[in-house]
A and B are shown apart, each in its own frame.
Chain A
Amino acid sequence: MFSDLFKETIWSLSSNKVRSGLTILGIVIGIASVITMVAIGQGAKNSISSSIEAIGSNLIIVMPGSQRVGGINQGGGSAQSLTIEDADAIKIQISSIKAVAPSITKRYQVTAKGNNTNTQAIGTTEDYMVARNVSMDAGSFFNTQQMKSSAKVAVIGPSVRDDLFGENVNPVGQTIRINNMDFQIVGMTKAKGGSGPNNQDDVIYVPLTSAQHYFSGDEYVNNISIAASDQNAMASVQEDITNLLLKRHKISDPTKADFSLMNQNDILSTASSITSTFTILLSSIAGISLLVGGIGIMNMMLTTVTERTREIGLRKAVGIKKININLQFLAEAVVLTLLGGILGVVLGWIASLAVTHFVSSLKTSISFSAIMLAFGVSAGVGIVFGFYPARRAANLSPIEALRYE
């Protein structure tokens, strides 16, 4: 009984290879296009998000509050209220953060080989690289060992290199003089862009401990840069930091806090609007591809099965029961959609990889949910529209079905 059904299904599909092949092709194209389109869209979305993240969109900066000296507000950031211990506490007690980098910032006249420049010296930790998206062009950032030993080492930005040594010179190993002390250059950062006072390349990084020893002489820091693990955690991380610092500074009224939190709100809102635009774009692409693919599959199934109304009439006339005819056409639809579905997933996958391979600027991202959605919708459409006309034909009297043109 079931072996009859199985053999009849396979035989029926293989006896008209062109028809079966075209139906499968329709399903393959439908599924593969959805998967590829979504993979390309997702890849573009990822690439845009990562460009935004390079600016540091997950960055939260804690700054000391304003200081009042004799009733005169000295402005935000002037108070000495943040310590390295605060930074350590944040690192240990707050979840969903990637990096915590306390820093001491001061401007110095820096000299080397007779050239000099006025630049910003930042004493900080290795985490600064993560928090502020600093990457190295030459040499390396100072390590934990150099941190611990307050080593007189420095990492310079490309603008400082240009000013002191000239362009295209490898500064690693050279010595510069900051605040009348010699520091050995161990690395140079990659250019980040920006100009004037916001030039992120006109900067010298030294270990935080060295900055405390040789520059400031106390335990306070100018700010703490914190990188949240992702954008969605920003709000909760900010709240947790505020609560923690209020507790540590023994302040009960949040309006009297001796520190303030800053994030890159503009970048964040831009990022989220771009992301949501992309989500809409992606859903439209997926939706339209699914619709087009689905209609293709529907047409294919409807025509091929309706074409066989006479065959169904004949089967009924020779005494085959409705249920067996229904089961056979259902089985045919299932086999076709499954075969087409699997081939479609494979083809979509290969096409996505090919796009990544041949378009160097775009790395596609194959999404499991797109595969499931494409497969599910195609299979659903294929089975429904393969089965429905067969059922309709099997419900006709054999005479009506045989007369069908």
Chain B
Amino acid sequence: MIECKNLVKTYINGDVETNALNGVSFGIKKGEFVSIIGPSGSGKSTLMHILGALDTPTSGEYFIDGHAVSKLNDDELSELRKNKIGFVFQSFNLLPRTTVLRNVMLPLLYSGVNKAEREKRARECLSYAGMEESKFMNLSNQLSGGQMQRVAIARALINNPSIILADEPTGNLDTKTSRVVMEAFRELNKKGHTIILITHEMDVADYANRIIHVRDGIIEKDTPNNPNDHII
């Protein structure tokens, strides 16, 4: 369902050209749980932005469900993100001073879905992401880090996207909470969601069934992984 062909991303900073991606090609099938791992500066974030249709490659081709993403304009990219991709960010990116429910319903704005349906879906997604019902009307800034990330996961699920893209989802969480959030991702994957996880921590990457190592803008290693081998 995801197909990358020879992706190149070049940043121009003054007179200096930096190749963040230097010809990356791979494919991801429906239902996979893939970790993309690499040190900082490896190009993994750039790759994640392109995979998430938040940015376009300088050259190369990228397809989601057969759509050529490289050729889309800004509004078409928004439409694609809305329908196909759910994001979970390292810094949660919830709307401040806003209820949990409202945060989860944000992607449904201007979508023509009526209020009752929006709320019903938001409640379902929150329960699905393991959020307690009593917290639904809490303001986002009253939540703990783990709760915020659950809300972010619920938000990523609201449009029932084919891909869930998580960028260092445990980066701001302690080990115990990280484990809970990662278990949530594994649950989602078991229910059939395709998950792409970007991280620089091996034990986080280890939850996936496949690990892609990125270094200096190219794929260094692309190996299957059996999570159960490592978890104690």
Residue interface bits B85-111, CB-to-A below 8 A is 1, else 0: 001010001010110001000110110
- Cβ-based interface call for B81 (8 A): yes
- Cβ-based interface call for B75 (8 A): yes
Query: Which residue of B54, B95, B97, B110 is within 8 Å of A399 (Cβ)?
Result: B54
Query: Which parts of B62-78 form the interface with A (CB within 8 Å)?
Result: 74-75, 78
Q: How many residues of B contact A (CB 8 A)?
A: 26
User: Which residues on the A side are within 8 Å of B110 (C-beta)?
Assistant: 1, 4-5, 320-321, 324
Query: Which residue of B55, B89, B95, B159 is within 8 Å of A319 (Cβ)?
Result: B159
Residue interface bits B38-50, CB-to-A below 8 A is 1, else 0: 0000000000010
- Cβ-based interface call for B79 (8 A): yes
Q: A1-B112, A310-B93 are in contact. Are A315 and B75 (CB under 8 A)?
A: no
A317 to B86, CA, bound (A): 9
Q: A397-B54, A402-B89 are in contact. Are A320 and B109 (CB under 8 A)?
A: yes
User: Which residues on the B side are within 8 Å of A317 (C-beta)?
Assistant: 52, 54, 81, 87, 93
CB distance from B78 to the nearest CB of A (A): 5
User: Which residues on the B side are within 8 Å of A402 (C-beta)?
Assistant: 89, 93
Of the listed residues A8, A314, A397, the one surrounded by the most CB atoms of chain B closer than 10 A to its CB is A314
- Cβ-based interface call for B83 (8 A): yes
Chain A residue at minimum C-beta to C-beta distance from B82: A319
User: Which residues on the B side are within 8 Å of A318 (C-beta)?
Assistant: 81-82, 87, 106-107, 155
B78 touches A320 (CB 8 A): yes
CB distance from A284 to the nearest CB of B (A): 43
Q: A1-B110, A5-B110, A315-B106 are in contact. Are A321 and B54 (CB under 8 A)?
A: no
User: Which residues on the A side are within 8 Å of B93 (C-beta)?
Assistant: 310, 314, 317, 402
A321 touches B97 (CB 8 A): no
B79 touches A321 (CB 8 A): yes
A193 to B95, CA, bound (A): 75
Show 23 A/B contacts (Cβ-Cβ < 8 Å), sorted by A: A1-B112, A4-B109, A4-B110, A5-B110, A11-B102, A15-B97, A16-B97, A316-B78, A317-B52, A317-B93, A318-B82, A318-B106, A319-B78, A319-B79, A320-B106, A321-B75, A322-B75, A322-B78, A323-B75, A324-B109, A324-B110, A398-B81, A399-B54
Query: Which residue of A8, A320, A323, A399 is within 8 Å of B55 (Cβ)?
Result: A399
The 6 closest A-B CB pairs, nearest first, are: A319-B82, A318-B107, A319-B81, A321-B78, A398-B54, A324-B110
A319 to B82, CA, bound (A): 4
- Cβ-based interface call for A311 (8 A): yes
A285 to B158, CA, bound (A): 56
A319 to B74, CA, bound (A): 10
User: Which residues on the A side are within 8 Å of B75 (C-beta)?
Assistant: 321-323
Chain B residue at minimum C-beta to C-beta distance from A17: B97
User: Which residues on the B side are within 8 Å of A4 (C-beta)?
Assistant: 109-110
Query: Which residue of B74, B102, B106 is within 8 Å of A322 (Cβ)?
Result: B74
Q: A310-B93, A399-B55 are in contact. Are A319 and B83 (CB under 8 A)?
A: yes
Query: Which parts of A246-281 form the interface with B (CB within 8 Å)?
Result: none
User: Which residues on the A side are within 8 Å of B95 (C-beta)?
Assistant: 311, 314
CB distance from B85 to the nearest CB of A (A): 8
A15 to B102, CA, bound (A): 12
A8 touches B109 (CB 8 A): yes
CB distance from A327 to the nearest CB of B (A): 9
A311 to B140, CA, bound (A): 14
CB distance from B202 to the nearest CB of A (A): 25
A398 to B107, CA, bound (A): 14
A15 touches B98 (CB 8 A): yes
User: Which residues on the A side are within 8 Å of B82 (C-beta)?
Assistant: 318-320
CB distance from B64 to the nearest CB of A (A): 13
